[in-house]
């Protein structure tokens, strides 16, 4: 899974995506704070590889990308759009391969610009990154090679408050950053950061009008934040081994960034700090039951602005949910299975 899989749709209802065997399943709220629909298959009967990238535009539409087997030892990418959580998504549409043909080259990442155009990023066979972008009036542009060298799996795509798309990737020497300079333009390599980065730990978030922040774990185990143009800032020791989830929210009248991660104990750790003020410090508070090793965490805000956290496990099929209580601080309701 790559991207936020817990989303608030255009109608204000929350939806959650997960992988199941050779399919993607979706559940959605039937009304505010539930109840939730039963899991339903997304995109028709197409058989998929167990991989999913999710991106969402300002219009609330979810864009889903996966790999499908096409021939012996070969695969191709497919895309679907989900306009409303409680309605059926469009059927999976084949969109090709960054090298024209071959097997899977990496986990894709998706971001959606201000015009609602999905941008699909994926490693290519040359060790760089390729981009496939939607046209504003339908269809897709040709594949574009964004270059790069030694790019590792776990790309982090994000749309800034400007509506322009950015991408972060880990390489053996640190991080690389691409950004669109104009709407609809090809993202260009902007900056390279030399830092000890653990691959597969990146998560990117729009944090101000002019900046996005990428969170990653370094090789000493510290969770760090970096905004291009500045220096990386260690935040606190990572709670666990995978990427964090993050969301901006209002806590007691302050613009804060909330982080969540499955901790080494198996529970979910939460940490919050004033957005872009990493020097203020943060600390983990664990919550909920102990989760399976494959459990994923995602964060969103509901239509009232309350933080919602969810965990999902492919091995158990369980979706657990909690919301912030309507009181000062970051007190959470009891976790419940939905």
Using H for helix, E for strand and C for coil, what is the string for 137-192?
CCCECCCEECCCCCCCCCCEEEECCCCCEEEEEEECCEEEEEECCCCCCCCEEEEE
Cα distance between residue 277 and residue 226, in whole Å = 11
**Selection from 311, 301, 220 nearest residue 266 by Cα:** 311
149 burial via Cβ count (<10 Å: 0-12, 13-18, 19+): exposed
What local confidence, expressed as pLDDT, does residue 91 receive?
Answer: 97
Cα distance between residue 157 and residue 83, in whole Å = 21
Cα distance between residue 190 and residue 103, in whole Å = 29
What local confidence, expressed as pLDDT, does residue 31 receive?
Answer: 81
Cα distance between residue 214 and residue 198, in whole Å = 13
What local confidence, expressed as pLDDT, does residue 4 receive?
Answer: 97
- Count of all residues that appear for the chain in the document: 338
What local confidence, expressed as pLDDT, does residue 327 receive?
Answer: 87
* Residue whose structure tokens are 């939806």: 15
137 burial via Cβ count (<10 Å: 0-12, 13-18, 19+): exposed
pTM of the model: 0.96
What local confidence, expressed as pLDDT, does residue 242 receive?
Answer: 83
What local confidence, expressed as pLDDT, does residue 87 receive?
Answer: 86
CA angle 94, 299, 85 (to 5 degrees): 50
Cα distance between residue 118 and residue 138, in whole Å = 11
What local confidence, expressed as pLDDT, does residue 94 receive?
Answer: 98
What DSSP letter does each residue of 15-81 carry, written as one string?
EEEEEETTEEEEEEBSSTT-PBPPPEESSSS----S--EEEE-TT--EEEEEEEEEETTEEEEEEEE
What local confidence, expressed as pLDDT, does residue 7 receive?
Answer: 97
Cα distance between residue 38 and residue 52, in whole Å = 20
What local confidence, expressed as pLDDT, does residue 49 receive?
Answer: 97
Cα distance between residue 123 and residue 109, in whole Å = 10
pLDDT tens figures, 130-184: 999 999 888 999 999 999 999 999 999 999 999 999 999 999 999 999 999 998 8
Burial 276-301 (b: 16+ CB within 10 A, else e): bebeeebebeebbeebeeebbbbbbb
Q: How far is CA 288 from CA 140, 168, 261, 267, in A?
A: 43, 31, 12, 6
What local confidence, expressed as pLDDT, does residue 32 receive?
Answer: 77
What local confidence, expressed as pLDDT, does residue 264 receive?
Answer: 95
Ranges of residues in the chain with a pLDDT under 70 are none
What local confidence, expressed as pLDDT, does residue 179 receive?
Answer: 97
């Amino acid at each position: 899974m790559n991207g936020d899989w817990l989303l608030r749709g255009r109608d204000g209802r929350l939806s959650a995506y997960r992988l199941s065997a050779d399919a993607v399943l979706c559940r959605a709220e039937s009304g505010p704070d539930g109840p939730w629909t039963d899991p339903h298959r997304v995109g028709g009967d197409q058989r998929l590889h167990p991989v999913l990238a999710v991106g969402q535009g300002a219009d609330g539409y979810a864009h889903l990308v996966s790999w499908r087997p096409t021939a012996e030892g070969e695969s191709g990418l497919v895309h679907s759009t989900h306009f409303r959580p409680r309605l059926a998504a469009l059927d999976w549409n084949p969109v090709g391969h960054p090298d024209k043909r071959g097997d899977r080259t990496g986990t894709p990442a998706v971001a959606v610009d201000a015009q609602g155009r999905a941008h699909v990023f994926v490693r290519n066979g040359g060790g760089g990154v390729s981009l496939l972008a939607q046209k504003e009036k339908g269809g897709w542009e040709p594949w574009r090679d964004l270059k790069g060298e030694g790019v590792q799996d776990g790309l982090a795509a994000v749309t800034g408050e400007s509506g322009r798309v950015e991408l972060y990737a880990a390489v053996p020497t640190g991080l690389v950053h691409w950004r669109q300079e104009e709407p609809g333009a090809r993202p260009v390599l902007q900056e390279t950061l030399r830092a000890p980065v653990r691959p597969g730990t990146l998560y990117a978030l729009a944090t101000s009008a002019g900046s996005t922040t990428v969170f990653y774990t370094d090789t000493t185990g510290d969770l760090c934040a970096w905004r291009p143009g500045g220096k990386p800032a260690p935040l606190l020791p990572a709670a666990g081994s995978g990427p964090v989830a993050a969301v901006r929210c209002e806590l007691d009248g302050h613009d804060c960034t909330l982080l969540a991660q499955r901790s080494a104990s198996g529970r979910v750790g939460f940490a919050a700090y004033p957005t872009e003020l990493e020097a203020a410090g943060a600390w983990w508070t664990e919550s909920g039951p102990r989760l399976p090793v494959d459990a994923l965490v995602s964060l969103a805000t509901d239509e009232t602005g309350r933080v919602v956290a969810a965990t999902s496990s492919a091995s158990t099929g369980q979706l657990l949910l909690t919301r912030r209580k309507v009181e000062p601080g970051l007190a959470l309701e009891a976790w419940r299975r939905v």
